[in-house]
Amino acid sequence: MEAGKPNVAFAGLGAMGFGMATNLLKCGYQVTGYDVYQPTLDRFIAEGGKSASTPSKAAEDAEFFICMVVNAEQAGNVLFEKYTGACLTLPKEATILICSTVAPADIDVFHKKLERTGRTYLRLIDCPVSGGAARAADGLLSIFAAGKEADLVHANQILECMSSKLYKIPGGLGGGSKAKLIHQIFAGVNIAMASEAMGLAAAAGLNTQEAFDYLKYSDGNSWMFSNRVPHMLDPSLPPYSAINIIAKDVGIITSTARDWKFALPMLSMAEQLYTTAISAGWGKEDDCVMTRLYLPNRPDLVTEQVKSSKTSETPQLQFHDIKFLLIGVHVAVISEAMTFCEKLGIDTDIMFDIVSNAAGSSAMFSLMFKDMQKENWSLGALHSTDLVRYQLSESVRKANAIRYPVFLSSAALQEFYRQLSTFVNTARIG
Amino acid sequence: MEAGKPNVAFAGLGAMGFGMATNLLKCGYQVTGYDVYQPTLDRFIAEGGKSASTPSKAAEDAEFFICMVVNAEQAGNVLFEKYTGACLTLPKEATILICSTVAPADIDVFHKKLERTGRTYLRLIDCPVSGGAARAADGLLSIFAAGKEADLVHANQILECMSSKLYKIPGGLGGGSKAKLIHQIFAGVNIAMASEAMGLAAAAGLNTQEAFDYLKYSDGNSWMFSNRVPHMLDPSLPPYSAINIIAKDVGIITSTARDWKFALPMLSMAEQLYTTAISAGWGKEDDCVMTRLYLPNRPDLVTEQVKSSKTSETPQLQFHDIKFLLIGVHVAVISEAMTFCEKLGIDTDIMFDIVSNAAGSSAMFSLMFKDMQKENWSLGALHSTDLVRYQLSESVRKANAIRYPVFLSSAALQEFYRQLSTFVNTARIG
């Protein structure tokens, strides 16, 4: 502990939280951890931290209270529970940092509850994170922070310690959660789409390793595609991220969209796929097992076809047909996510920076974002999106002809058609 | 054979075609059948018909040539094949009746081919049918007939013999196929929706027999729901209609919509579900086995739960929640199908008559059609659709909360939200 560094309380020492809290120790903060699981607290003490048996005990004398529990319900309990909530003991001017991914509406609830209980002497920052456990432990997270300007300045040092990319989202409390949700629209669609694409390669009898090698260097690539497919090809790799994890975020987004009465057809499609996988009992498995949904009778086909002799094409389907599906879905999700971004009042240029540097990125995102921004995110206004639509429609047709279901690609194609009907373009393709 | 009744040639003596052809015999026509399957021809001779070894031989001296083969490719062969096509021998003024379900574009191809080969001396009628094999054998089909007015008058007697409901669709050739396709949008969505609804009843632990008894007398009922669910509850019933059959029609519709660059999100969702089922190897099974898609780990649950003790509700879900999903989907498909109907230039009032009396009907179709027609099929313009949307959103939330995927209901909800954003209504609900 360095002289002058403020005391920090940290609730929720899970995979991400433990890394974040130990990284704070490395930065020289004195950190008191709270978690329901005693072995984790013991491990945290071994790393040089302190522990407390309740949030209120951890919060005593803390200048910052970081909340990294699993959901909004737990965050509410940690902060406000009658005899043990952190708010009971947090000193004046202390700052609560909500790092858990919660709905913007939850941030609003927390803020109102502070006001209603006369605790306006506490500061509140809405600052969800992104990046995974390894980056958490190294202080290399992306953080989307929102709140009062003075509070953000006050918390700057601790936010900087945890992050390599710190985005301050204008517009006050809730902006951090909104930015995180918009980013997760890309993540939620692209993870499932990686399975849809690779399942198709397998169903067509193609060599899935070579398909991946082709696609990851193509315009069909996404961060998630490059990241997840190796796990499909080699299931002996250690699990990366469970279906339950992305499904949780997706559920927060669709629930927020329902509050706004806003249509998210692509993400809602992905949500039903995740729900099917979870109801099949795969919730705790690596999300790359979503391929099984697409290959009900041959669940391991993507792995088996790593050694297929059909290296580049079959009469029915070629590598580039799969690329066209990925491109179409990645473009359609730009339209969906960024229209919602504007609806939520989040600056789209900041969102460009966030997604470009994070797990929601894709080749098409970099290529198309700026042109689509000028056209209000329409899928029917550009010559380039006409071409994307035409190639998508051909590939959907080919996939269905070999009886392979393309849930997301088909949903994307419907979006192109719908938006097309609102535009008349002189140089229509296809 | 009665004196004065014209000779008829009939190609395609499948389940439907055989009934239609024998019914024509009953009406007093001399009918010469053609089929690739000899035992069927033998059976047709036993019924009093004649047989021919090629379409061209069947067509000699025929005043009417009825084509009831399985798809457009076969119809093209039967009519135009180089040495055996019916057009080689059909006499002047003879009428070709295309009763197979084909795309409007196929009718156009046939018409152009007649012109290009100098066979404008033949008449062409586009007259797909609906009603199933039993009604075919009794001359009780619905027929959607289009063509030149004089040709329709000329063929009136034979069309009347085959049908109990004969709709003449204005606008010339292709109108019959268009009307059939629009009807099948309702059929294609409602068949899959019956499985989505009953799977949810089972997943919630409800008594599925009692759920059915409640729902079939509710506003959530559809012709398909009442017709298909008994097969889900009692798999010992003889198969009704295979997944391949509805999937074939759905494929024709989505392919036609692609030609028109028109979005059919609900039907496209259903198409991906049928495709998944077919790729799982269930194509030849009764379409009621679509419930398995929704219950991947408990494929027989709908049948098993016939005797569940939970008769009317669980804490998570009640019968009326399932009703709200059915209502939402049935209303959304009205908007989708009827917007496409207008795009294709088919009179919507005729379509109301057709669907009301056929397998695409539903309680909501009868209730909402006329009001929605006045609002250009918008899902965002009526107070009643606001209520439907609100109840749908609550039920989607409840279904996903118990980890049950609601593909069609979720797609429907997205449609409500999308169309809502184009309207501002003073008395918004929910």
Nearest chain A alpha carbon to B400? A275
A404 contacts in chain B (CB < 8 Å): 275, 279
Query: What's the residue count for chain B?
Result: 430
Name the least confident of A370-374, B3-7, B327-331. B3-7
pLDDT at residue A425, rounded to an integer: 42
Nearest chain A alpha carbon to B268? A410
Which residue's structure tokens are 């729900």?
Answer: A275
B397 contacts in chain A (CB < 8 Å): 255, 258
B406 contacts in chain A (CB < 8 Å): 272
pLDDT at residue A421, rounded to an integer: 72
Q: What does the angle CA A292 – CA A298 – CA A300 come to, to the nearest 5 degrees?
A: 65
Calculate mean pLDDT across residues A263-275: 96
Of A403, A411, A415, which is closest to B278 when you measure between CB atoms? A403
Calculate mean pLDDT across residues A40-60: 97
Query: B297 CB near a chain A CB, below 8 Å?
Result: yes
Of A251, A293, A405, which is closest to B275 when you measure between CB atoms? A405
Beta strands B163-168; A7-11: pairing state: unpaired
Given a cut of 90, is residue B7 above it in pLDDT? yes
pLDDT at residue A320, rounded to an integer: 95
Chain-chain contact of A418 with B268 (C-beta, under 8 angstroms): no
pLDDT at residue B410, rounded to an integer: 95
Counted across chains A and B, CB pairs separated by less than 8 A come out at 113
Query: B247 CB near a chain A CB, below 8 Å?
Result: no
pLDDT at residue B1, rounded to an integer: 45
Q: Which residues pair with A32 in a beta bridge?
A: A9, A50
Task: Give the whole-angstrom CA distance, residue B39 versus residue B24.
Answer: 20
Query: B282 CB near a chain A CB, below 8 Å?
Result: no
Domains of chain A, with CATH numbers?
7-173 (3.40.50.720), 182-420 (1.10.1040.10)
A201-248 tens-digit pLDDT: 999 999 999 999 999 999 999 999 999 999 999 989 988 899 999 999
Calculate mean pLDDT across residues B29-34: 98
Q: How confident is the model at residue B428 (pLDDT cuts 50, 70, 90)?
A: very low
The secondary element (H helix, E strand) that includes residue B125 is strand B123-126
ipTM of the complex: 0.82
Calculate mean pLDDT across residues B395-418: 94
The answer for A 362-391 residues in CB contact with B (under 8 A) is 389
B281 contacts in chain A (CB < 8 Å): 297
Q: Chain B: nearest CA to A224, how far in angstroms? A: 23
B294-307 tens-digit pLDDT: 998 899 999 999 98
Chain-chain contact of A269 with B393 (C-beta, under 8 angstroms): no
Q: Is A180 a catalytic residue?
A: yes
Task: Give the whole-angstrom CA distance, residue B322 versus residue B211.
Answer: 9
For residues B110-143, one letter each, b for 16 or more C-beta atoms within 10 angstroms of the residue's C-beta and e for the rest, the string is bbeebeeeebeebbbbbbbbbbbeebbbebbbbb
A390-403 tens-digit pLDDT: 999 999 999 999 99
Of A278, A296, A414, which is closest to B263 when you measure between CB atoms? A414
Q: How confident is the model at residue A1 (pLDDT cuts 50, 70, 90)?
A: very low
pLDDT at residue B344, rounded to an integer: 96
Task: Give the whole-angstrom CA distance, residue A16 versus residue A393.
Answer: 41
Q: How confident is the model at residue A429 (pLDDT cuts 50, 70, 90)?
A: low
Calculate mean pLDDT across residues A305-328: 86
Sign of CA dihedral A128, A129, A133, A136: negative
Query: A414 CB near a chain B CB, below 8 Å?
Result: yes
Calculate mean pLDDT across residues A105-130: 96
Query: A424 CB near a chain B CB, below 8 Å?
Result: no
Q: What is the mean pLDDT of chain A?
A: 94
Nearest chain A alpha carbon to B411? A265
B91-150 tens-digit pLDDT: 999 999 999 999 999 999 999 999 999 999 999 999 999 988 889 999 999 999 999 999
Name the least confident of B230-244, B246-260, B303-317. B303-317
pLDDT at residue A308, rounded to an integer: 79
Calculate mean pLDDT across residues A322-331: 98
Of A293, A404, A414, which is closest to B264 when you measure between CB atoms? A414
Asked if B417 and A263 count as a contact pair (C-beta separation under 8 A), the reply is: yes
pLDDT at residue B422, rounded to an integer: 62
Chain-chain contact of B296 with A279 (C-beta, under 8 angstroms): yes
Chain-chain contact of B405 with A263 (C-beta, under 8 angstroms): no
Given a cut of 80, is residue A314 above it in pLDDT? no
Task: Give the whole-angstrom CA distance, residue B8 versus residue B65.
Answer: 6
